[in-house]
Homo-oligomer: A and B are copies of this chain.
Amino acid sequence: MATSHPVYLEDLAVGDIFRSAEHALDTEQIFDFARQFDPQPFHLDPQAARDSLFKGLAASGWHTAAITMKLLVASLPLSGGIIGAGVELQWPRPTRADDRLHVVSTIRQIVPSRSKPDRGIITVECHTLNQDGDICQQMVTQIVILRRPG
């Protein structure tokens, strides 16, 4: 789906797909994030990274997750915003400094709330892919979504 209007629960169907724009990573962004939040050698030092399990400089998985969120905010225009209730994450391969990332989100489940008539929960599967189509992050998340008022 391509839409810039707020999307309510009633607007969604299981299987709907949202595709984000692209984010171009670089070494400086990887260092910046790692210095603040994940200061480990394989995110900060290309030499040390070569000898690590990553076999080369890799972005923090939390950096990949944060970029994914940035791309989601712009590509998944949910009424009420994107407020995750729970998340499962996997990083099948490292995100590299020359990667250009985009996110493909698929609506997997839509459950209206029984106790709160103004909202529901959707399950969304988000794949964060690089320019070669490799999956750098798999995420399944439950998001609160508002119903159309009235």
CB proximity to B under 8 Å, residues A80-133:
80-91
Which of A52, A67, A81 gathers the greatest number of chain B CB atoms within 10 Å? A81
Chain B residues whose C-beta falls within 8 Å of the C-beta of A37 in the assembled complex: 66-67, 69-70
Nearest-neighbor residue (CB-CB) of A41 within chain B:
B81
Question: Quick check: is A22 within 8 A (CB to CB) of the other chain?
Answer: no
Partner of A38, one of B70, B85, B91: B70
Nearest Cβ distance between residue A54 and chain B, in whole angstroms? 8
Chain B residues whose C-beta falls within 8 Å of the C-beta of A38 in the assembled complex: 66, 69-70, 73
Nearest-neighbor residue (CB-CB) of A119 within chain B:
B53
A87 to B92, CA, bound (A): 12
A45 to B20, CA, bound (A): 24
Chain B residues whose C-beta falls within 8 Å of the C-beta of A73 in the assembled complex: 38-40
Q: When A53-B144, A70-B36 are in contact, do A85 and B81 touch as well, CB less than 8 Å?
A: no
Nearest Cβ distance between residue A128 and chain B, in whole angstroms? 13
Pair B80/A53 contact, Cβ less than 8 Å: yes
Q: When A66-B62, A89-B86 are in contact, do A52 and B40 touch as well, CB less than 8 Å?
A: no
Question: Quick check: is A75 within 8 A (CB to CB) of the other chain?
Answer: no
Chain B residues whose C-beta falls within 8 Å of the C-beta of A84 in the assembled complex: 61, 91
